[in-house]
Amino acid sequence: MAKTIQEREQAGAGTAVTRVNSRRRFSITPYLFILPHLIFFAIFVGYPFVSGLVYSTFQYNFLTPENNTFVGLGNYANLFNPQSREFDLFWNALGNTGIFMLWSVPSLVIIPLLLAVLLNTKLPGRNIYRAIIFAPWVLSVSVISLLWYWIFQSNGGLVNSYAKALGIFGTDGPPRWLSTLPAAWVAITIATVWWTMGFNMIILLAALQDIPEQLYEAATIDGANTWQKFWRITLPLLQAVLVFVITITIIASFNLFGQPLFMTNNGPSRGTEPVMFRIYDEGFSRNAQGSAAAMSFVVALIMIVISYLNFRLFRQRDTNY
């Protein structure tokens, strides 16, 4: 009897070991499922990244590869050398992008948030309003820019025509929106906010609909008013989504390109030229791909730092709630 029990225990132990070994056995099947993504990533992200890093260390020109010379960190040094040509052009364009970011990011967070809160109520026809606000986002940047170009035209534009008729700007007349600063930034920001606020609104609206209604009902019973419910319930529960929205909006602001090009031709006097256009012009108009690659990596590093600080700031605020 004892021998039979011992044999059963040994057999059970052997079966358990076999099961563990089978679990640890290598299987290539999961890797085959992610292989297409890895190939796509390697071709369209990995290879361009490595190539750009290599190009940034050369005085590189695609048209004359035989004349390419290794300069090490020379292209990066030029960006921080006040005596170089690239210094003024790059930092002017980067400063313009920073100005646009300061104008657009708060607008593209606050306005969509307020619209999302409003359209999350039982407003009659709210689905129609959601569609109307989101609709411009599906249009191309060229369509949006040309539309607002005609709206802000100094002579015959919709804004100035109504302003003159109503006498809003007095004897001085309406500003030349597309050829003076800061009026040009106002026009570009309005066009951008109108174009993209629907996307942020949809993201925030989806997050609002995930907040349990019982929390607001309990707050109402406790005597909380609308502002207190928004500040104490809505904002804290939206914090993770707000971090995401702010981050992607900052990244999108750094990618500013078409609006100044079509609306102001990057004027007046490069006053609205964004850094992405400067990189494009450096790489394809001057055929200085090495310098353009260096500019790209500096901008990417700045974006990474800003995104990191953004996450750190909201993480600290999260611990205070």
Give the pLDDT band (50/70/90) at residue 30.
Answer: confident
What's the whole-number mean pLDDT along residues 117-134? 92
pLDDT tier for residue 170 given thresholds of 50, 70 and 90: low
Higher pLDDT, 28 or 185: 185
- The mean predicted confidence, pLDDT, of the chain is 88
Q: What is the share, in percent, of the chain residues with pLDDT greater than 90?
A: 64
Is residue 262 very low, low, confident or very high in pLDDT (cuts 50, 70, 90)?
A: very high
Judge if the upstream peptide bond of residue 268 is cis by omega within 30 degrees of 0: yes
pTM attached to this predicted model:
0.85
Instruction: Report the C-alpha dihedral over residues 14, 17, 22, 25, rounded to 10 degrees.
Output: -130
pLDDT greater than 90 at residue 28? no
Q: Does the pLDDT value for residue 213 go beyond 70?
A: yes
pLDDT greater than 90 at residue 58: yes
Q: What is the mean pLDDT of residues 275-297?
A: 94
Range 69-75, long-range pairs (CB < 8 A, 24+ positions): 71/290, 75/290, 75/291, 75/293, 75/294
Contact 172, 197 (CB under 8 A): no
Query: Exposed e or buried b for every residue in 181-213, given b needs 16+ CB within 10 A?
Result: eebbbebbbbbbbbbbbbbbbbbbbebbeeeee
- Looking up tokens 């989504």 gives 241
User: Is residue 307 exposed (0-12), middle (13-18) or buried (19+ Cβ within 10 Å)?
Assistant: middle
Predicted local distance difference test score (pLDDT) of residue 56? 94
What pLDDT was estimated at residue 315?
72
Q: Is residue 268 helix, strand or coil?
A: coil
Residues 6+ apart with CB under 8 A from 263: 145, 148, 149, 152, 178, 184, 187, 188, 191
Least confident segment among 3-12, 188-197, 284-293, 304-313 = 3-12
Rg (CA), the chain: 28
With the CA atoms of 88, 92, 95 and 101 taken in that order, what torsion angle do they form, in degrees rounded to the nearest 10? -150
Asked whether residue 88 carries a pLDDT value surpassing 60, the answer given is yes
State residue 202 phi and psi, 5-degree precision: -65, -40
**Average pLDDT of 239-247?**
92
pLDDT at 63: 83
Residue 108 CA to residue 120 CA, distance in Å, equals 18
pLDDT at 13 over 60: no
Q: What is the DSSP letter of 210?
A: T
Helix (H, G, I), strand (E, B) or coil at 245: helix
